[in-house]
A = this chain, B = another copy of it.
């Protein structure tokens, strides 16, 4: 059924999860939705993280990415320590509203705490014996994490 025929035959409720216009995030048992941040320019996946209700709201209202850290159990603004903030150019929600996709302009060009552009700096290949092996890919460091995070 096309959007057109659906609209004509059965009007969609504004708060319908899949077809509506109301944001109704489906938070998990910990109050979180999964967030994928991609580089708005290249399309590279930079990181996968989480937002709670407040992080989602702050991101929508400020246009800069806020997340919820499961390990530190607190809200954090991306770049609050490193200065490498993420300016959100577009934000989308998925069909069942348990995942959010943000296209960002990554300040400093590095989203990963290891100093790389993306957290996904290793390709999964199959070795000679068929077993998986990780191969560094786009793994050049844009900054020295020891200096930036003062370890």
Contact = CB atoms under 8 A, between A and B. Distances in A.
Interface string A124-137: 10100010111111
Interface in A31-51: 34, 36, 38, 42-45, 47-48
Nearest to A1: B144
B124 A95 contact: no
A99 to B, nearest CB: 4
Contacts of A20: 134
A20 B113 CA distance: 16
Contacts of A96: 119
A43 B96 CA distance: 21
Nearest to A39: B43
Given A45-B38, A134-B22, A93 B114 contact: no
B92 A132 contact: no
Contact of A101 (B18, B45, B140): B45
A92 B93 CA distance: 23
A99 B37 CA distance: 13
A139 interface: yes
A32 to B, nearest CB: 11
Q: Would you list the 7 A-B pairs with minimal beta carbon distance, nearest first?
A: A43-B43, A92-B120, A48-B99, A94-B119, A23-B132, A91-B124, A95-B119
Interface of A: 1-3, 18-23, 34, 36, 38, 42-45, 47-48, 60-61, 90-96, 99-101, 112-114, 116, 119-124, 126, 130, 132-137, 139-141, 144-146
